Amino acid sequence: MTKGIVTVLGKDSVGIIAKICSYMAERNVNVLDIAQTIVSGYFNMMMIVDLSGSSEPIASMTTGLETLGRDIGVVVKLQHEDIFNAMHRI
């Protein structure tokens, strides 16, 4: 399974998760787990997704999600899970 990690950071507003999840669903990406915190109005979310069946390459989804993030006023990043594993797990 190829897993990706989506991180979202920005001011909280209605429908952030919904918009990002629809983007994922449209590309056949399954959401495996979601963690989120809100600290003084700032929305901080991490989503683990399964990219193995996705209909679009990771690189272009990365760009797509950045654009989507700009539209809803948050910073959205999609990265291959391995960079986090490399850095934080031995």
Partner 1 sequence: MITIYEAQETLRMISEANLDVRTITMGINLLDCADDDYGAFCRKIYEKIARKAERLSQVGDDISREYGVPVVNKRISVTPVAIAASGCRCGDYVEVARALDRAAQTTGVNFIGGFSALVHKGVTSEDRKLLDSIPQALAETERVCSSVNAASTRSGINVDAVNRVARLLKETAAMTQERDSIGCAKFVVFCNAVEDNPFMAGAFHGAGEGDCAINVGVSGPGVVKHALESVRGADFETLCETVKRTAFKITRVGQLVAQEASRRLNVPFGVIDLSLAPTPAIGDSIAEILQEMGLEQPGAPGTTAAVAILNDNVKKGGVMASSYVGGLSGAFIPVSEDHGMIEAVRAGALTLEKLEAMTCVCSVGLDMVAIPGDTSAETLSGIILDEMAIGMINNKTTGVRVIPVVGKNVGDTAEFGGLLGAAPIMEVNRFGCAPFVARGGRIPAPIHSFRN
Point out which residues bind partner 1 (CB under 8 A).
5, 7, 9, 33, 35-37, 44-46, 48, 58-59, 62-63, 77-89
Structure tokens at 17: 């998760």
Cα separations in angstroms, 64 against 14, 19, 39, 86 = 20, 12, 26, 25
Min dist CB 44 to partner 1, Å, is 7
- Rounded to the nearest angstrom, the gap between the alpha carbon of residue 76 and the centroid of all alpha carbons in its chain is 6
Min dist CB 19 to partner 1, Å, is 19
Min dist CB 46 to partner 1, Å, is 4
H or E stretch covering 83: helix 82-88
| Cβ proximity to partner 1, 14 vs 39, nearer residue | 39
| Cβ proximity to partner 1, 18 vs 75, nearer residue | 75
Count how many residues are written for the chain.
90
| Cβ proximity to partner 1, 25 vs 32, nearer residue | 32
How far is it, in rounded angstroms, from Cα 90 to Cα 80? 17
